[in-house]
Amino acid sequence: MTENRDAGASVRQFTAELVGAAMDGDYEDVADALGLLARAGSNRISGEIVAELAGRCASVVRARQPADPGAVFTVAVTDERARPVEVDRLPPGPLAALRALLADLGGDAESRDIQLELAARGEPDDVIGVVIHQLVWLVELSGSSAPTLPPLSCFAQ
């Protein structure tokens, strides 16, 4: 039991440092951390990081746009050139991460967990792509002071 708590604390600390580096624009530290994650080769750890990042994104949205229970959230997605992207055309991992975020915001824990599991599947490069998307979303959501939430960026892999 203690081992699991220590591992969970380590994942939370790693994620906090990764988010801090991304928010500070320290992309060299972000790249180093992502390299460590890719080499770790642990689906469990990657899954926990993906879940932690999804929760952080949902917290930022809730803080900026408090909603009544049962509220429906929609997402606008753009590409690297700020052009709208059809959500269903996203790569599978980022699409699952986006669906997990929406399920979290909608209070659907079961769907969130299923989508998080799907987002953290695949080769290490696939999971790193999901984490990169989530970091970009977190920076976008946190960095905007506009009354409406910004569109989320997505990049083809």
Ordered by start, the domain boundaries in the chain are 2-153
pLDDT for the residue numbered 7 = 55
- The answer to whether residues 131 and 50 touch, using CB atoms and an 8 Å cutoff, is yes
pLDDT for the residue numbered 85 = 80
pLDDT digits (tens, 9 = 90+) for 32-79: 999 999 988 778 889 999 999 999 999 999 888 877 767 778 888 887
Threshold 0.75, pTM exceeds: yes
pLDDT digits (tens, 9 = 90+) for 128-146: 999 999 999 999 999 877 7
What whole-number distance in Å separates Cα of residue 28 and Cα of residue 139? 16
Distance of CA 111 to the CA centre of its chain: 15
Name residue 15's amino acid.
Answer: T
